[in-house]
């Protein structure tokens, strides 16, 4: 065991170990548990950062690889590694969870139960991080599903009024999707023949696919199944309906991690599995994915306009933003893929931050109804209002802030999709125009939201309620995201630099 081959295993499993430690802490040591949460996630973040430091960004391919036997009965191996595509998302996972742990320092949402809360959060972290490093389909699937149960409980226990419905809907929807995904995996496994054996190894399958191992029809079917599973998680229109409920009902930390990281698992899956392993099918499906993505953008923006609930609005906006990511992916171009990864990171940072804001607003007002809040937040909490506006504006894609590059590059890539798709550019230009309309509508609902929340005068009912403006804990947990929003906007190379090599080899699969 060297650092090289064990680093990501240690980093990924550290939160899991931490969760076990936390379970063993006495129940009444509330502060200790929260402190431990911060320390563990912090340590994991440091390790992740160390991995990032040691990563050779110039080289393509996997690094920190560990490939060893695991469940030979079903042919699954423990194959982990990290490349430019995983790196930004891997780091994002640790950063967001760490910040969530800090945010939790102040209080754990009703009904308390700090231990369980922190432990589930850590379990979630392992699941999320693991899905970004797994290079074996079953291993990937395990991590993918590992996320499900903790998130279910985060929503079901610490959620708001309608939590039961939301949590079950979330669970069933995603499980439904992942069953299809698993079927797709198994189909690939049984069809594959590498050195006379079936395999779940992504890289081997990729080679097998390149060698023409999967027939055209097979690819179409397998891609359909896998894409369905991934699409639910993304979520793509029209299988997104779990998301507004889940996001809305989840506790703040849950929403942040859900929006910030979990949705990316779906889009990442497209880049990591669906497209490289089934490139022919990807080519066929691409325009349809693009269409759904374009619909999602417009649809979500319209839906946002109809929202009366602040958190629900943000939730719907995620659908639209992920639409841009999917549009980028659907172009199958280098720019599109890069845009997608950037979009994922940016969405994680910005929407995560938006959920933090909404959570804190809710803490003070104890309502999420925009009409009840009634405006005037700039008067009661000028700093909060300022931060909220900043993040909202970042989210609507203002150039110079993180949200911009993912959107604009995704639209740019749609201008001319990969020639290998053999499509008339017109199709994608229509998507591009829909995306453009979406950006206008997006600006519309965000500004309208700001008008109704921040602007105007403080309604009578809130006068004298003495809301505290942003608290120290909030500053600490938010500052990194705010800085990142700005830095990514001004210096997008931070992400593009990481992903360049990996994306190049990905696009290489299409000869485009």
Partner 1 sequence: MVGLLGFVAAEGGETAEQAAVAANWFAEHVWLIPLLPFASGVLTLFLGKRTPGKGTVYGILAVFASFVLSLGVLWSFAHGGADVEQTADWFTIGGLHLELGVLVDGLTAAMLVVVTSVSLMVQIYSLGYMHGDIRYTWFYVVLSLFTGAMLVVVVSSNVLQLLVGWEIMGVCSYLLIGHWFEEQPNSNAAIKAFLTTRIGDVPMMFGFFALIAATGFTTTNIGETTRAIAEGGVSTAFVAGAALLLFGGAIGKSAQFPLHVWLPDAMAGPTPVSALIHAATMVAAGIYLVGRLFEVFVVADPVVLQIVAIVAAITMLGAALLAIVQDDIKRVLAYSTLSQLAYMVAGLGMGEAGYTAGFFHLFTHAFFKALLFLGAGSVIHAVHSNNMSDMGGLKRSMPVTFWTMLIGSLALAGIFPLAGFWSKDELLVVAQETGTTWLLVMFLLTAGLTAFYTTRMVLRTFFGTYEGAAHPHESPRSMTAPLVLLASATVGVGFLGAPQLGAVFGDWVHFGEHHEAEFNAVLALAGTAVALVGIAIGLAVYRTRRATDPMEKTLGPLWGVLQHRYYIDDFYMATVVRPVRDRVSAGVYWTNQHLLDGAVNGAAALARVSARIVMWFDRTLIDGAVNGAANITGETGGLLKYLQSGNVQWYAIGLVAGVIVLTAFFIRL
Partner 2 sequence: MGSVDYHAILPVLILAGTVMVVLVADSFLPRRAAWAGMPLAMLGVVAALVATLTLIGEERSTFGGHYVVDAFTLVFQVLFLGVAVVVLAVSLRYFREGGFYQGEYYFLLLTAFLGCVLMPASRDLLMLFISLELVSAPGFLMAAFRKGDIKGNEGGLKFFIIGVLSTAVMLYGMSIIIGLTGATRLDEVATGLAGLSGAQRTFADASILFVVVGFAFKVSAVPFHFWAPDTYEGAPVPVAAFLGVASKAAGFAGLLQLMFVAFIGEHEYWVPLFAVLSVLTMTLGNLVALQQKQVVRLLAYSGIAQAGYMLLPFALVSADAGVNAAAFSAAVAYIVIYAVMNLGAFAVTTAVARRHPRLLVSDFAGLARAAPVLGVGMIACMVSLAGVPPTGGFWGKLLIFQAAIERGDLGTWLASIMVINSVISIGYYFSILRVIPQETADTEPMDVSWLVTVVVALAIVGLGVIFILPNAVAHLGDVAVLGTGA
List residues bridging with 197 in a β-sheet. 194
Residue from 70, 105, 448, 467 touching partner 2 (CB under 8 A): that is 70
Rg of the chain taking only CA atoms, in angstroms? 22
User: According to the binding rule CB under 8 A, does residue 182 interact with partner 2?
Assistant: yes
At 408, list the tokens: 């604009």
**Which ranges in 270-309 belong to alpha helices (H)?**
275-277, 279-305
Calculate the alpha carbon distances from 441 to 37, 142, 303, 399 in Å: 40, 38, 10, 16
| DSSP, res 208 | H
User: According to the binding rule CB under 8 A, does residue 330 interact with partner 1?
Assistant: no
User: CA 183 to CA 331: how far, in whole Å?
Assistant: 26
Torsion-angle region of 113 (φ positive above 0: left; ψ -120 to 50: alpha; else: beta): left
Residues within window 103-122 making contact with partner 2, judged by CB under 8 A: 111, 113, 116
Q: Which is nearer to partner 2, 151 or 349 (CB)?
A: 151
Any idea what the Cα angle at residue 108 is, between residues 102 and 110, rounded to 5°? 160
Q: Which is nearer to partner 2, 141 or 342 (CB)?
A: 141
User: According to the binding rule CB under 8 A, does residue 25 interact with partner 2?
Assistant: no
Binding flags for partner 1, 386-405, as an x/- string (CB under 8 A): -------x----xxx---x-
> Do 269 and 310 touch, CB atoms closer than 8 A?
no
User: CA 147 to CA 272: how far, in whole Å?
Assistant: 18
Binding flags for partner 1, 229-248, as an x/- string (CB under 8 A): ---------xx-x-------
- Stretch of 17-25, 150-158, 194-202, 299-307 lying at the interface with partner 1 (CB under 8 A): 299-307
Instruction: Count other Cβ atoms within 10 Å, centred on residue 57.
Output: 15
User: According to the binding rule CB under 8 A, does residue 167 interact with partner 2?
Assistant: yes
Residue from 3, 107, 190, 491 touching partner 2 (CB under 8 A): that is 190
Shortest distance in whole angstroms from residue 375 CB to partner 1: 9
**Which ranges in 107-196 belong to alpha helices (H)?**
114-133, 137-146, 148-158, 163-191
User: According to the binding rule CB under 8 A, does residue 324 interact with partner 1?
Assistant: no
User: According to the binding rule CB under 8 A, does residue 306 interact with partner 1?
Assistant: yes
Looking at the chain, the number of H-run helices and the number of E-run strands are 23, 2
> Do 38 and 15 touch, CB atoms closer than 8 A?
no
Q: Which is nearer to partner 1, 121 or 341 (CB)?
A: 341
User: According to the binding rule CB under 8 A, does residue 57 interact with partner 1?
Assistant: no
Residue 448 interface partner, choices partner 1, partner 2, none, CB cut-off 5-8 Å depending on type: partner 1
Residue from 102, 231, 507, 509 touching partner 1 (CB under 8 A): that is 507
Residues within window 73-92 making contact with partner 2, judged by CB under 8 A: 73-74
Shortest distance in whole angstroms from residue 157 CB to partner 2: 4
User: CA 495 to CA 84: how far, in whole Å?
Assistant: 9
User: According to the binding rule CB under 8 A, does residue 416 interact with partner 1?
Assistant: yes
Instruction: Count other Cβ atoms within 10 Å, centred on residue 159.
Output: 25
**Which ranges in 192-270 belong to alpha helices (H)?**
202-210, 216-233, 242-249, 252-257, 263-269
User: According to the binding rule CB under 8 A, does residue 426 interact with partner 2?
Assistant: no
Residue from 444, 469, 480, 505 touching partner 1 (CB under 8 A): that is 444
> Do 86 and 48 touch, CB atoms closer than 8 A?
no
User: According to the binding rule CB under 8 A, does residue 17 interact with partner 2?
Assistant: no
User: According to the binding rule CB under 8 A, does residue 146 interact with partner 2?
Assistant: yes
Where on the chain is the footprint of partner 1 (CB under 8 A)? 169, 172-173, 238-239, 241, 299, 301-306, 333-335, 338-339, 376, 378-379, 393, 398-400, 404, 408-409, 411-412, 415-416, 432-433, 436-437, 439-441, 443-444, 447-448, 451, 454-457, 491-493, 496-497, 500, 503-504, 507
């Amino acid at each position: 065991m060297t650092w090289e081959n064990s680093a990501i295993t240690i980093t990924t499993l550290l939160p899991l170990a931490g969760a076990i430690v936390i379970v063993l802490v006495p129940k009444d040591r509330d502060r200790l548990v929260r402190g431990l949460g911060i320390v563990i996630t912090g340590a994991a973040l440091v390790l992740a950062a160390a991995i990032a430091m040691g990563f050779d960004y110039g080289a393509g391919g996997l690094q920190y690889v560990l490939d060893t036997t695991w469940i030979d009965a079903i042919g699954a191996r423990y194959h982990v590694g990290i490349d430019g595509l995983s790196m930004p998302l891997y780091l994002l996972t640790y950063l967001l969870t760490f910040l969530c742990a800090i945010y939790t320092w102040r209080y754990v949402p009703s009904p308390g139960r700090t231990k369980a809360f922190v432990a589930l959060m850590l379990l979630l972290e392992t699941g999320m991080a693991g899905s970004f490093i797994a290079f074996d389909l079953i291993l990937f699937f395990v991590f993918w599903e590992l996320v499900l149960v903790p998130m279910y409980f985060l929503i079901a226990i610490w959620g708001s009024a309608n939590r039961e419905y939301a949590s079950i809907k979330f669970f069933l929807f995603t499980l439904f999707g992942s069953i299809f995904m698993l079927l797709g995996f198994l189909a690939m496994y049984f069809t594959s023949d590498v050195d006379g054996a079936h395999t779940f190894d992504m890289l081997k399958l990729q080679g097998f696919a390149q060698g023409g191992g999967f027939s055209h029809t097979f690819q179409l079917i397998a891609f359909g199944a896998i894409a369905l599973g991934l699409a639910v998680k993304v979520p793509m229109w029209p299988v997104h309906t779990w998301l507004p409920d889940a996001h809305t009902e989840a506790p703040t930390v849950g929403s942040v991690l859900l929006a910030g990281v979990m949705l990316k698992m779906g889009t990442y899956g497209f880049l990591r599995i669906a497209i490289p392993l089934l490139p022919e099918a990807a080519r066929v499906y691409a325009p349809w994915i693009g269409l759904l993505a374009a619909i999602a953008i417009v649809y979500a923006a319209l839906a946002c306009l109809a929202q009366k609930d602040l958190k629900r609005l943000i939730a719907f906006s995620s659908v639209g933003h992920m639409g841009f990511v999917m549009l980028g992916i659907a172009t199958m171009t280098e720019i599109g893929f890069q845009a997608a990864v950037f979009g994922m990171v940016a969405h994680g940072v910005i929407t995560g931050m938006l959920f933090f804001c909404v959570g804190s607003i809710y803490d003070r007002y104890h309502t999420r109804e925009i009409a009840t809040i009634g405006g005037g937040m700039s008067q009661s909490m000028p700093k909060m209002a300022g931060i909220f506006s900043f993040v909202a504006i970042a989210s609507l894609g203002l150039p110079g802030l993180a949200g911009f590059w993912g959107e604009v590059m995704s639209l740019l890539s749609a201008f001319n999709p990969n020639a290998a798709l053999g499509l008339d550019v017109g199709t994608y230009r229509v998507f591009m125009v829909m995306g453009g309309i979406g950006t206008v509508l997006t600006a519309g609902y965000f500004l309208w939201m700001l008008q109704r929340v921040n602007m105007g005068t403080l309604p009578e009912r809130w006068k004298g309620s003495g809301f505290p403006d942003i608290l120290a804990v909030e500053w600490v947990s938010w500052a990194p995201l705010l800085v990142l929003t700005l830095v990514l906007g001004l210096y997008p190379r931070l992400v593009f630099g990481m992903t360049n090599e990996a994306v190049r080899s990905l696009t290489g699969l299409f000869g485009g």
